[in-house]
A = this chain, B = another copy of it.
Amino acid sequence: MSSHPAVLFLVSADTGCVQVDPEDPHVFVTDLGVTRGDGIFETISVCNGRPQALEPHLARFARSARLLDLPEPDLALYRRAVLAAIEAHDDVPELFVKTVMTRGIEGTGVATGWAYATEAGDFAAARTAGIRVVTLDRGLRHDVAQTSPWLLQGAKTLSYAVNRAALREASRRDADDVIFTSSDGFVLEGPTANVILRLGDRLVTPRTDQGILAGTTQASVFEFAESIGLQTEYAVLPVAALAEADALWLVSSVRQAAPVNSLDGISRQVDGELTRRMTEFLLGRTE
């Protein structure tokens, strides 16, 4: 994989979607996306040419914009950019498209936007053998999105340095990923994934009013679960629920469903059969 995306479209109200050379720089040093991480993004997985959960991704993009008091993104334009980027990309089994909108160059008040497509990495091992996860404190109470909305919990922003630092901490602890917990002891989410627990014949995920992202892949997993007769539930989960769960997954675009095979250094059983069917469902999504 190149360090530049394969396909890049700039998105702006003035000029619409314009394909540009991804080997060139396109962002100005005074763009607030760079200087302040002041912008939003979505990552949409594309399987055999079909974008997955595109409309939920676009709806969440608009929701993040509202949480940041950004101008409303022109979703028709971003939808067009996503589809054009897929069309322009080589035909590969799995790729992803990332959409970005920033507050724009300082002082202009005009948002900057783009969408790029890149071939996805190989997540076969994570999807079958699973991943090692550690829990880390996110430092915030579970109700902080209600009490302190300026902390932007629940928005998918470009200010992800803490999420990256948490992944480095996981690596120092010989783990692959993180489940954040609230300062008052509840299960939240991963840095770029939602947590799903199986408790008997129920799949449970943390309620999204706890300052976490409403997961597009998590919603698809729940749809799958209901189709095979499992119950689904959004709940406020104390951290102890993780250890008690029959199985755990981190689910996200691109990597899809990754079963947790160890939590805080303690090995866990992977639900291989359910994971296999889940993955098959996720990769087969046609919308």
Residues of chain A having any CB pair with chain B under 8 Å: 1, 3-5, 8, 22, 24-39, 41, 68-69, 98, 100, 102-103, 105-108, 114, 116, 136-141, 144, 147-152, 155, 157-166, 168-169, 183
A100, A108, A160: most-surrounded residue (chain B CB, <10 A): A160
Task: Tell whether, in the assembled complex, residue A3 and residue B151 are in contact, meaning their CB atoms are under 8 Å apart.
Answer: no
Interface centre among A38, A108, A136, A161 (most CB of B within 10 A): A161
Contact of B137 with A162 in the complex, beta carbons under 8 Å: no
Pick from B3, B168, B169: contact of A106, CB below 8 A: B3
- By a CB distance below 8 angstroms, the chain B residues around A166 are 150
Could you say which of A39, A138, A159 has the most chain B C-beta atoms within 10 Å of its C-beta? A159
**Of B22, B28, B159, which is within 8 A of A160 by CB?**
B159
- Return chain B residues, CB-CB under 8 Å to A26: 25, 27-29
User: Chain B residues with Cβ under 8 A from A140's Cβ?
Assistant: 139-140, 183
Q: Are A141 and B25 in contact (CB under 8 A)?
A: no
Assess the A37–B165 pair: CB atoms within 8 A: no
16 A-B residue pairs with Cβ-Cβ distance under 8 Å, sorted by A, are A3-B108, A4-B105, A5-B29, A25-B28, A31-B34, A32-B164, A34-B34, A37-B157, A38-B164, A139-B151, A149-B169, A150-B162, A151-B165, A157-B161, A159-B160, A159-B162
A153 nearest CB neighbor, chain B only: B139
The residue of chain B having its C-beta at the shortest distance from the C-beta of A41 within the complex is B35
Q: Are A160 and B29 in contact (CB under 8 A)?
A: no
Q: What's the least CB distance linking A20 to chain B, in Å? A: 9
Query: Counting chain B CB atoms within 10 Å of each CB, which of A1, A103, A155, A162 scores highest?
Result: A162
**Nearest-Cβ distance from residue A115 to partner chain B, whole angstroms:** 9
Minimum CB distance partner of A118 in chain B: B30
**Complex: A238 Cα to B103 Cα, angstroms:** 35
Q: Please, how many angstroms separate the alpha-carbon atoms of A83 and B269 in the complex?
A: 59
Closest CB in chain B relative to A36 CB, distance in Å: 4
State which of B28, B29, B36, B105 has its C-beta within 8 Å of the C-beta of A164: B36
Interface contact A107-B1, CB-CB below 8 Å: yes
- Whether the pair B37, A161 counts as a contact (CB closer than 8 A) is yes
Q: A34–B29 contact, CB under 8 A?
A: no
Give the residues in chain B near A28, CB-CB below 8 Å. Answer: 4, 25-27
| Contact between chains at B150 and A34 (CB < 8 Å) | no
Given A25-B28, A37-B158, 12 other A-B residues pairs in contact with their CB atoms under 8 A: A24-B25, A26-B27, A27-B31, A31-B34, A34-B100, A35-B160, A36-B158, A103-B164, A139-B139, A139-B140, A139-B144, A152-B161
